[in-house]
Amino acid sequence: MLDVLQLKHRVNRMPLERVRDMVDELLLEGIVTESRTPFNRQHFNTCFAEIEALLQRAGYHRQLDVVGYQGLAYALFDPARWEAVEVLHWLRDFVELKQQQSCH
């Protein structure tokens, strides 16, 4: 398991190409799920400031926030375009849909 400093270092050194699609989605939709990012829950919990800085270097200069749903899904979103409650409802629906699809 990586320690916090190693995790932050990796985010700080991440090539901008790895986050370009994520930046595009944030600019268009204002929201992106963790499954469409190179980040996971540990990243969001320990080095969110480094993720924000990386996205700024990649061209995303708007506000950014993160919300998780029961540890099952996370999303980065623009709080000027989305309310956190809206994102939570959206994530709940996203998780439930994935669970239903896996049962069939």
Q: What angle do CA 74, 77, 81 make, to 5 degrees?
A: 145
The neighbour count for residue 43, using CB atoms within 10 Å, is 20
Quickly state the pLDDT bin for 101 (edges 50, 70, 90).
confident
Contact 67, 87 (CB under 8 A): yes
Residue 83 has pLDDT above 80, yes or no: yes
Grouping H, G, I as helix, E, B as strand and the rest as coil, residue 14 is: coil
For the chain, the residue count is: 104
Quickly state the pLDDT bin for 100 (edges 50, 70, 90).
confident
State mean pLDDT over 81-99: 93
Q: What is the pLDDT of residues 15-70, one digit of tens each?
A: 999 999 999 999 999 999 999 999 998 899 899 999 999 999 999 999 999 999 99
Instruction: Check residue 99 and give its pLDDT.
Output: 85
Task: Collect all residues with Cβ–Cβ distance below 8 Å to 63 and sequence separation of at least 6.
Answer: 78, 79, 80
Contact 55, 38 (CB under 8 A): no
